[in-house]
Amino acid sequence: IDPTMDVFAEIERLKKEKNAIVLAHYYQEPDIQDVADYIGDSLGLAQQAEKTQADIIVFAGVHFMAETAKILNPSKKVLLPDLKAGCSLADSAPADLFRKFKEKHPDHLVVSYINCTADIKALSDIICTSSNAEKIIESIPVDQPILFAPDKNLGAYLNKKTGRNMLLWNGACMVHEIFSLEKITKLKTRHPNAKLIAHPECEDPLLRMADYIGSTTQLLKYTQQDNGSEYIVATETGILHQMQKASPEKHFIPAPPDNSCACNDCPHMKLNTLEKLYLCMEYEAPEILMEEQLRLAAKKPIDRMLEISR
Ligand code: 13P
Ligand code: SF4
């Protein structure tokens, strides 16, 4: 890229020329959030992808999110700035192992968190996201055994909230398991008025300490509506950009990770950059493509989720 190029302006030009929409997750770098037409959590992004009139969906997020957009809107060209932007949680459920696990529990209904591959979706009965998971579980008769995948932390949180005893796949997100309880406790003594807000992908001991638990959109809304002034945020740091924009007078502190060499940036989400976003719009690649049989099988449980979430 020509270093003198105004990448922001070029992206705006390409959006108009190509009738393209940029959908971004809150974990994307601030520059990407600033050029996005819509910023949201996984549910909001899926809903936008389903209803857009644009010809091209530029998905600034990770692979399973762009894949979901393609599943819902196959006539659109779906672009992902970096095809390697994966997800440790989605990777924790390989389809062949999951199929075998499912076969051992044929009486169980399979509820999968949207952070999984299209292959896992195709093996699922219903999908959920962090913002509608409780509602989805509550919609299932209490005597129906459930297998929940791939996030064991979200699954355990849901078991606690709904009183169910769902069988859990042993997967987790590398970003949400990195936080140090000890450091958070110390931070709270230095900031006694700070509220701890956490994503349900975090482990149970952290969630027990939290003042509020929710999806990224729910966490953002909470900080806007709550009358507090300081928050320790236990999720990926990208969300702080919108929190700070919406409440400039409030103070947001990223929850500290265990190891001082580590950080709570998602390495997959952060593979996307503004420059790669521009290049993928210019060259219309890399593109998400999917076999039609897989797409249709993966669409069924997503449609069930969207129906319940309307
Ligand atoms: P939500 O934005 O749906 O809460 O998901 C968080 C996440 O980890 C996405 O990868
Ligand atoms: Fe996956 Fe975790 Fe990154 Fe979200 S934050 S994309 S769940 S690795």
DSSP 3-state assignment of 162? helix
CATH number at residue 187: 3.40.50.10800
The CA distance from 276 to 273, in Å, is: 5
What DSSP state is assigned to residue 36?
Answer: -
Tell whether the torsion through CA atoms of 65, 70, 73 and 79 is positive or negative: positive
Query: In the predicted model, is pLDDT for residue 149 greater than 80?
Result: yes
Whether 268 is in the pocket of ligand 2, judged by its Cβ within 6 Å, is yes
Q: Is residue 260 part of a domain?
A: no
CA of 215 to the centre of ligand 1 (A): 6
Least confident interval from 171-175, 240-244, 258-262: 258-262
Are 288 and 76 a contacting pair, CB within 8 Å?
A: no
pLDDT score at 47: 94
CA of 53 to the centre of ligand 1 (A): 24
Q: Annotation-wise, does 266 bind a ligand?
A: yes
Residues 94 and 167 in one domain: yes
The CA distance from 40 to 24, in Å, is: 7
Whether 63 is in the pocket of ligand 2, judged by its Cβ within 6 Å, is no
Q: Is residue 259 part of a domain?
A: no
Residues 123 and 161 in one domain: yes
Nearest bound ligand to the CA of residue 177: 2
DSSP 3-state assignment of 178? coil
Whether 66 is in the pocket of ligand 2, judged by its Cβ within 6 Å, is no
pLDDT tens per residue across span 12-71: 999 999 999 999 999 999 999 999 999 999 999 999 999 999 999 999 999 999 999 999
Domain range spanning residue 234? 181-254
Which residue's C-alpha comes closest to atom 3 of ligand 2?
Answer: 266
Stretch 235-255: mean pLDDT, rounded?
A: 98
Least confident interval from 98-112, 184-198, 261-275, 280-294: 261-275
Q: Annotation-wise, does 215 bind a ligand?
A: no
pLDDT score at 281: 98
Start-to-end C-alpha separation, the chain = 42
Stretch 147-156: mean pLDDT, rounded?
A: 98
Q: Annotation-wise, does 261 bind a ligand?
A: no
pLDDT tens per residue across span 37-47: 999 999 999 99
Find the helix packing angle between 292-309 and 42-51, rounded to 10°: 110
pLDDT tens per residue across span 106-125: 999 999 999 999 999 999 99
Whether 89 is in the pocket of ligand 2, judged by its Cβ within 6 Å, is yes
Residues 95 and 140 in one domain: yes
Residues 6+ apart with CB under 8 A from 4: none
pLDDT tens per residue across span 163-221: 999 999 999 999 999 999 999 999 999 999 999 999 999 999 999 999 999 999 999 99
CA of 175 to the centre of ligand 2 (A): 6
ipTM over 0.90: yes
Structural domains of the chain, count: 3
CA of 173 to the centre of ligand 2 (A): 6
Are 42 and 129 a contacting pair, CB within 8 Å?
A: yes
Q: Is residue 69 part of a domain?
A: yes
CA of 269 to the centre of ligand 2 (A): 7
Cα–Cα distances (Å) from 101 to 98, 105, 126, 135, 150, in that order, read: 5, 7, 17, 25, 12
Residues 108 and 239 in one domain: no
Whether 154 is in the pocket of ligand 2, judged by its Cβ within 6 Å, is no
Stretch 217-241: mean pLDDT, rounded?
A: 98
Q: Is residue 130 part of a domain?
A: yes
Whether 235 is in the pocket of ligand 2, judged by its Cβ within 6 Å, is no
From the list 268, 260, 259, 207, the residue with the least C-alpha distance to 236 is 268
Residues 164 and 301 in one domain: yes
Nearest bound ligand to the CA of residue 25: 1
The CA distance from 158 to 310, in Å, is: 21
Query: In the predicted model, is pLDDT for residue 261 greater than 80?
Result: no
Mean pLDDT of the chain, nearest integer:
97
Q: Is residue 139 part of a domain?
A: yes
CA of 153 to the centre of ligand 2 (A): 13
Whether 35 is in the pocket of ligand 2, judged by its Cβ within 6 Å, is no
Cross-strand bridge partners of residue 75? none
Q: Annotation-wise, does 130 bind a ligand?
A: yes
Confidence of residue 227 (pLDDT cuts 50, 70, 90): very high
Which residue's C-alpha comes closest to atom 1 of ligand 2?
Answer: 87
Residues 155 and 302 in one domain: yes
Confidence of residue 263 (pLDDT cuts 50, 70, 90): confident
SS3 content of the chain, % helix, strand, coil (to 5): 45, 15, 40
Query: In the predicted model, is pLDDT for residue 262 greater than 80?
Result: no
Query: In the predicted model, is pLDDT for residue 260 greater than 90?
Result: no
The CA distance from 163 to 222, in Å, is: 25
Are 205 and 213 a contacting pair, CB within 8 Å?
A: no
Residues 247 and 108 in one domain: no
Q: Annotation-wise, does 280 bind a ligand?
A: no
Residues 209 and 144 in one domain: no
Question: Whole-model pTM above 0.90?
Answer: yes
Cα–Cα distances (Å) from 60 to 23, 40, 77, 236, 290, in that order, read: 6, 11, 14, 15, 18
Residues 80 and 96 in one domain: no
What is the Rg, in whole angstroms, of the alpha carbon atoms belonging to the chain? 19
Tell me, rounded to whole angstroms, the distance of Cα 233 from its chain centroid. Answer: 16
Task: Please tell me whether the peptide bond between 150 and the residue prior to it is cis, using omega within 30 degrees of 0.
Answer: yes
Q: Annotation-wise, does 38 bind a ligand?
A: no
Mutation pick for ligand 1 pocket among 117, 130, 154, 241 (CB with most ligand atoms within 8 Å): 130
